[in-house]
Structure 1
Amino acid sequence: MDRLHVSATSHWPNYLPEYVAREFGYYEQEGLDFSRSAPDDWTQVLTDLERKDAQVVLGGLWVPAMYHGRGRKYRAFAQLNHRNPKALVVREPVTDFEWKDLEGKIVLAPGAGGTAPYVHTAGLMRKAGVDMSTVRFVRDLSGPMLTELFLGGMGDALVTDVVNAAFLQHRNLAHVAVRYDQAGGLMPNSVYYTTEEVLGRDDELVFRFCRALQRSIDWLKTHKAADLTGLLAREWPSLDTEVLVTVVDDLRTSGIWDDIRISEDGYTEWLRILAEDGLLDTPVPYEDLVDPRPAARAAQLTP
């Protein structure tokens, strides 16, 4: 068995295919001794990779993009989320939301775990023609803190993930105005990245990992979340499992787990937004940041 440790920026249901592969022994069948961790300070994932405590990182594509040509060399090779599983929630039910509705409003956008919640939101707003000078953002704080503040009366809208949004709406504490996985187009929200050394290993460690993930994706396309009730209850015991099953089924059909291959169209749009917001001097060419071969081979070899 070859060790493969993933250091991830969080432990949450939008990463479900990774847990499904472990649940059904797909890693073991590939000869992988799989493990994962999710450090409280997400930047620890980079230290884990540099120290070789982890072979792979699961996180935002914006990290290897920002470091490209700036000291660290990371290559993304697969995606876990084909779309961004984020949502914008507001205080009252809304059926005809438009991004321009946020003009003159205060939007809470968590940032302690990464910059994507704000950057993608702002990019979608600019694309919709919102006058950004009229919108105020509260940023750089944790999701739980901003959620608590929003529920306490701060701001007009909150960027959160689809799972939290569903639970807030279920408890009638907030209402979903827009879901990014439905309205935001393709976006490689969570990707796997590593070093050239790991990608070049003779034992094809990364390819075998991709093949296990692809089997997991294939399984999720043909099975309902009710078949995973035990897994969901074990991994997220603080969440109401019955509600979570419904949310996971919704995510299954939304397209966020459609393909582990990083879409060039989604990549191009996301890099455009990152450059537009100043995180990059200019978009990095796809071939400079992504090694598509492991995921492409895995997709071809699975049913």
Structure 2
Amino acid sequence: MNQDFKCRTKTGKAATLVLAGAAVLAAVFGLAGCGTKNTNLKTVRLNEVAHSIFYAPQYVAMELGYFEDEGINLELTTGFGADKTATAVISGDADIAFMGPEATIYQYNEGNENYLVNFAQLTQRAGNFVVSRTKDDDFRWEDLIGKEVIGGRPGGMPEMVFEYVLKKHGIDPQKDINLVQNIDFANTSGAFVGGTGDYTVEFEPSATLIEEEGAGYVVASVGTESGYVPYTAYSTTKEFLAKNKELLQSFTKAIERGQKYVEEHTAAEVAKVIAPQFKETDEKTIEKIIDRYAQQDSYKTNTYFEEDSFTLIQDILEEAGELSQRVPYEELVTTEFSTR
């Protein structure tokens, strides 16, 4: 076991989160390093779009005390949707948003003067998977034509990347498939298990849990098919960024340490570290999910948000009919805190 992990003590509170249509306990711990405890911590309120194993580097940073090492007391809440997460930061209820960067483009184009700026990227591929009701080792995307598919919220990154992939295969999402979009994100897997749809598009752990229940089978990765996309990033208001550069540098350093740990350790080792964040998920299942994400190169090895990635996300928004006007990279992305 990693020595850094063994010497940490866990305190804090448990928050009840709704994930995959069921109540899932997710512990949010305040961790202190070995030796003298840093009592002069600056509280940072982070609102994450969802609580998912997909974001393993963040939870590694939490569980191994990397934020405390950087002088930060991290308070984590879950927004359950990029729109809600963005609103929390803009309204002052949170300091940093963790979500798809498309939300920062939306609010900028709405004319918000204190707009959100992306300062660190965590994942680089879509994290959702196509789950079939029947086992299909020879799945082709064209198999979705004429079928009922549970999708995501219109205008959200998961749905737009999924539709982007469909269009790459010559499939019109609105005409060629029966796309179900009236089910809340937290309830899609439950609806599928209950009999709705021929296919569903799911994040982890929902996709793997459906498989383990024998109710469906993962047949394709949206992330592998879409290519590299700046799927999730950290952002804050222009005003907070201007006044808290040292704090944001420390925050980014903690995240990059988490990324490095994930890069250098096995899925089993990472699973053991972040298991306290997902108490209702078996550690072996967590390991399987982390390995699945690692195999498709989902995790960035640094937080640097490339300009080409920002261009691609605007291309996807434009193709989805969700972009009123393109935004300059320099306006909504800063890389001053990141390493390359």
State the TM-score, normalized to the length of structure 2. 0.80
Unaligned runs of 5+ in 1: none
- The separation in 1 between residues aligned to 2:109 and 2:262, in whole angstroms, is 37
* Residue 287 (structure 2) pairs with residue 245 (structure 1): yes
2:46 alignment partner, SS class: strand
Instruction: Name the residue aligned to 1:129.
Output: 170
Structure-2 change in CA distance of 1:42 and 1:180 (3 Å): closer
Q: 1:67 to 1:41 in 2, by over 3 A?
A: closer
What secondary structure does 2:153 align onto? coil
Aligned to 2:159: 118
Pair 1:256 & 2:298 matched: yes
8 Å contact 2:150–2:197 — kept in the other structure?
Answer: yes
How large is the Cα RMSD of the aligned pairs? 2.1
Partner SS for 1:7? strand
Aligned residue among 249, 256, 265 for 2:308: 265
Match of 1:217 in 2: 259
Aligned positions, number: 296
| Cα pair distance change 1:40/1:121, threshold 3 Å | closer
Partner secondary structure for residue 3 of structure 1: strand
Take 1:151 and 1:203, find their aligned partners in 2: how far apart are those partners? 46
Cα distance in 2 between the residues matched to 1:44 and 1:69: 17
Task: Note the C-alpha offset of 1:200.
Answer: 1.6
Matched with 2:116 is 74
2:87 is the counterpart of 1:61: no
Counterpart CA distance in 2 for 1:257 and 1:81 is: 5
**Aligned residue number for residue 201 of structure 1:** 243
Q: Unaligned regions of 5+ residues in structure 2, if any?
A: 1-40
Partner Cα distance (1:78, 1:44) in 2: 20
Cα deviation, 1:42-61, whole Å, max 9, x if unaligned, reads 64433432343321101121
Structure 2 counterpart SS, 1:294: coil
Shift of residue 98, structure 1, vs aligned partner: 2.5
Partner of 2:318: 275
Indicate conservation of the 8 Å contact 1:83/1:189, yes or no. Answer: yes
Question: Does 2:68 correspond to 1:28?
Answer: yes
Cα offset for 1:285?
Answer: 2.9
Percentage identity across paired residues of the two chains = 26
Tell me the equivalent position of 1:50.
90
Corresponding residue number in structure 1 for 2:59: 19
Q: Residues 84 and 158 from structure 1, CA distance in 2 versus in 1: closer, same or farther, beyond 3 angstroms?
A: same
Question: What is the rounded CA distance, in whole Å, between the counterparts of 2:101 and 2:306 in structure 1?
Answer: 12
Tell me how far apart the structure 2 counterparts of residues 97 and 248 of structure 1 sit (CA, whole Å).
23
Contact in 2 for aligned 1:61/1:76 (Cα 8 Å): yes
> Shift of the alpha carbon at 1:263?
3.2
Greater share of residues in strand: 2
Cα distance in 1 for partners of 2:226, 2:85 equals 27
Query: Any conservation in 2 of the 1:109–1:139 contact (CA below 8 Å)?
Result: yes
Deviation at 1:218, TM superposition (A): 0.6
Distance across 2 between alignment mates of 1:184 and 1:23: 31
Shift in alpha-carbon separation, 1:285–1:199, aligned structure 2, 3 A = same
Q: In structure 2, what is the equivalent of residue 161 of structure 1?
A: 203
Contact 1:232 1:241 in 2 (8 A): no
User: Conserved in 1, the CA contact under 8 Å of 2:60 and 2:274?
Assistant: no
Going from structure 1 to structure 2, the CA distance change for 1:280 and 1:229 (only over 3 Å counts) comes to: closer
Cα shift at 1:63: 0.7
Q: Is the 8 A contact 1:186 1:265 kept in 2?
A: no
| Superposition deviation, residue 202 in structure 1 | 5.3
CA shift for structure 1 position 90? 0.7
Partner SS state of residue 76, structure 1? strand
Distance across 1 between alignment mates of 2:89 and 2:172: 41
How does the TM-score come out when normalised to structure 1? 0.89
Q: Conserved in 1, the CA contact under 8 Å of 2:193 and 2:210?
A: no
Of Structure 1 and Structure 2, which has the larger fraction of its residues in helix?
1
Alignment match, 2:36: none
